[in-house]
Amino acid sequence: MRELTYVEAIREALNQAMAADPRVFLIGEDVGVYGGAFGASAGLHQQYGAGRVVDTPISEAGIAGACVGAALTGMRPVGEIQFMDFITISMEQLVLQAAKIRYMFGGKATVPMVLRTPGGSGTGAAAQHSESLENWFVHIPGLKVVMPSTPYDAKGLLLSAIDDDNPVIFVEHKLLYKTKGPVPEEPYRIPLTQTDVKRVGQHLTVVATSMMVPRALQAAEQLAAEGIELEVVDPRTLSPLDDAPIIRSVIKTGRLMVVHEAHRNGGFGGEIVGRVAESEAFDYLEAPIKRLCGLDVPIPYNRTLEAAAVPQVADIVREAKALVK
């Protein structure tokens, strides 16, 4: 199968969705002539015109609000917030409007919109351009939250998100954009309710999200040489969460480590721990559950400090050995 980069897979999904449905349009800062801050919409402005690839002023609230309004009137907008940090400016539109309208109107109104946003650290972009805020939105009923970790998942999940009649927050890690992987040319969908086991193992379940998935897989390769087999589980969609594969994995391995880049305090790892503790898997645990997360500090600008603030491959290897032994 041919290989694409993660950003190419995103672009192909956008192109295929726009070609198939004239209601789909893109909107955001620099998504048009410039092609997007990270190149996700490159070439689409020339192909579809300014009416379907809409450049906006610097107003995240305006982008989110326009998406809500367009979705309510029958369109299927895909908005882009250049950096996830700035999604904070659109919280009223997302939390008080997009998430609640379908419920408040008894299902008679739908809000089929996607808001794409690059999150995460690793580019030296400092504290205001490097945050991982996904769990803010996981907490809100009515919003779906997706975090693909591979090019294959990125395309399939984005096409499903665009099809969905609910608002979807689609989080793309900046360091994943240049990663490559097999991606079918034809359109395909991955359900927004399907956790994926990325690697089968028997000694320790590692539930990882976004950029932490390839790091967990790297750690698993290193540990396999020492006879320690990690099972790496990727939720892909954080809300709604398909927790059954996670619970089955913990029952099999008897150990669990959750790895994510977001801060530990209030992070998604706590939800995974809670689900396992409430399930039958709790009785199978042979060691305390470990959360390996970003430090509870703003992301530093200094590259060495930036790397130290979030889990790296060596950290996963170290903590996995401690859990298994």
Whether 202 is in a domain gets the answer yes
Q: Are residues 135 and 19 in the same domain?
A: yes
pLDDT digits (tens, 9 = 90+) for 221-272: 999 999 999 999 999 999 999 999 999 999 999 999 999 999 999 999 999 9
CATH number for the domain that contains residue 256: 3.40.50.920
Handedness of CA 179, 231, 120, 33 (dihedral sign): positive
306 belongs to the catalytic site: no
Give the model's pLDDT for residue 110: 97
The residue out of 156, 182, 208 marking a domain boundary is: 182
Whether 190 is in a domain gets the answer no
286 and 255 in contact (C-beta within 8 Å)?
yes
pLDDT digits (tens, 9 = 90+) for 11-32: 999 999 999 999 999 999 999 9
28 and 66 in contact (C-beta within 8 Å)?
no
The residue out of 157, 182, 207 marking a domain boundary is: 182
Q: Are residues 21 and 99 in the same domain?
A: yes
Measured in whole angstroms, how far is the alpha carbon of residue 126 from the centre of its chain? 20
Q: How many C-beta neighbours within 10 Å does residue 140 have?
A: 18
Give the model's pLDDT for residue 307: 97
129 belongs to the catalytic site: yes
Strand pairing category for 237-239 and 230-234 = unpaired
The residue out of 182, 210, 243 marking a domain boundary is: 182
Q: Let me know if 116 is exposed, middle or buried by CB neighbors in 10 A (0-12, 13-18, 19+).
A: buried
Whether 189 is in a domain gets the answer no
Contacts of 237 (CB under 8 A, 6+ apart): 144, 145, 146, 147, 157, 192, 193, 194, 195
Q: How many CA atoms does the CB half-sphere of 230 hold within 13 Å?
A: 33
Give the model's pLDDT for residue 272: 98
* Euclidean distance between CA atoms 290 and 267, whole angstroms: 13
Active-site annotation holder among 8, 45, 80, 129: 129
Q: Are residues 167 and 249 in the same domain?
A: no
CATH number for the domain that contains residue 153: 3.40.50.970
Give the model's pLDDT for residue 325: 87
Give the model's pLDDT for residue 199: 98
Active-site annotation holder among 12, 60, 231, 319: 60
Whether 187 is in a domain gets the answer no
By residue range, what is the domain housing residue 22? 3-182
Average pLDDT value for residue range 291-308: 97
Tokens encoding 141: 């009923």
Tokens encoding 46: 């020339």
Structure pTM? 0.97
Average per-residue pLDDT for the chain: 98
Is the pLDDT at 1 greater than 90? The verdict is no
* % of the chain beyond a pLDDT of 90: 99
